[in-house]
């Protein structure tokens, strides 16, 4: 019964990844007439000495450090907000989840127009009105200071609904008796949140944080469409570097080495999540 799934995993995941590991130790290039040869750890050494790849790792880490806590906090707030028995609450849940349904390519194009430079751009016009004319129009996507925060804002808006649904399911799994017991003990809403809601959502929040962190390191679509890694590598990411190496430079060996590094990063994050989950269960 498990054979079709195991065959699918082998054909589409295990075998390609094993091929990537082998290619990362070679000099394979699509545009080279030379025969493929073994070069050992040379591709990994070059990655360590590559400032662009180091910048990509830093950008991914900064992106994750900002997006994961902010998006999780907003998703928790939204989940608590819509976890009420009110008329029309299903419509609000659908509205908050709607951005997740849209393809990221479409969202990136729309937000590129929202970030349009000059006083007629939506963000610039809104900021100017909000500050009573003191805001100076900015070219967000071509400014090294603003480009990455602009992509962060888009990503938080687009992904918060997905987290909200998962946290909402976790909220609904917490027994109502715990809240009733807390009310009998004269616990206020803040105390109930601290001592009932957060402990009950521990596993859910760790899972959501793990998934969001992995997605943060897989950041590519919005970067490729909105900035193409610029300006001056201010928004380049590991996935952007990998795709660039494979399809623009046609350096398959280098792209494979980046893939292996990315796999190690994701594996480390998963192990940390597993440790946190196990620690929570044994407390």
Give mean pLDDT, residues 59-63: 93
What is the helix (H) or strand (E) element at residue 217, kind and residue range? helix 202-217
pLDDT for position 71: 95
* pLDDT at residue 90, rounded to an integer: 84
- Average pLDDT of the residues in 237-253: 91
What's the confidence (pLDDT) of residue 36?
Answer: 83
Quick check: 92 pLDDT over 90? no
pLDDT at 140: 93
Residue 107: name the closest of 164, 160, 146, 154 by CA: 154
Domains in the chain, CATH or no CATH each: 50-282 (1.10.3720.10)
**Range name among 75-79, 81-85, 153-157, 196-200 with the lowest pLDDT average:** 81-85
**Mean pLDDT for the stretch of residues 177-193:** 89
| Residue 142 DSSP label | G
pLDDT over 80 (residue 278): no
Residue 35 token pair:
């025969």
Model confidence at 114, in pLDDT bands (50, 70, 90)?
Answer: very high
**């907003």: which residue's tokens?**
74
Query: Would you say how long the chain is, in residues?
Result: 283
Mind listing the pLDDT tens digit for each residue in 191-239?
999 999 999 998 899 889 888 988 888 899 999 999 999 898 999 999 9
């Amino acid at each position: 019964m498990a054979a079709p799934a195991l065959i699918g995993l082998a054909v589409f995941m295990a075998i390609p990844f094993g091929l990537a590991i082998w290619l990362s130790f070679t000099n394979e290039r699509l545009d080279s007439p030379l025969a493929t040869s073994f070069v050992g750890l040379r591709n990994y050494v070059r990655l360590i000495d590559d400032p662009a790849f180091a910048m990509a790792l830093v950008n991914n880490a900064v992106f994750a450090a900002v997006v994961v806590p902010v998006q999780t906090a907003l998703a928790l707030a939204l989940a608590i907000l819509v976890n009420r028995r009110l008329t029309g609450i299903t419509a609000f849940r659908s509205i908050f989840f709607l951005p997740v349904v849209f393809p990221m390519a479409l969202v990136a194009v729309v937000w590129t127009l929202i970030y349009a430079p000059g006083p007629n751009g939506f963000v610039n016009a809104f900021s100017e009105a909000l500050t009573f004319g003191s805001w100076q129009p900015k070219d967000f996507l071509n400014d090294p200071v603003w480009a990455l925060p602009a992509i962060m804002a888009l990503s938080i808006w687009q992904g918060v609904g997905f987290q909200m649904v998962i946290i909402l399911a976790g909220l609904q799994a917490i027994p109502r008796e715990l809240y009733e017991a807390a009310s009998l003990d004269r616990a206020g809403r803040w105390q109930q949140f601290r001592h009932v809601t957060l402990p009950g959502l521990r596993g859910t929040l760790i899972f959501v944080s793990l998934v969001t962190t992995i997605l943060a390191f897989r950041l590519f679509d919005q970067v490729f469409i909105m900035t193409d890694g610029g300006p001056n590598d201010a928004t380049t990411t590991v996935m952007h570097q990998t795709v660039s190496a494979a399809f623009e430079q046609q350096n398959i060996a280098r792209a494979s080495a980046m893939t292996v590094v990315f796999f190690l990063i994701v594996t480390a994050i998963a192990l940390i999540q597993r440790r946190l989950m196990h620690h929570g269960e044994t407390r």
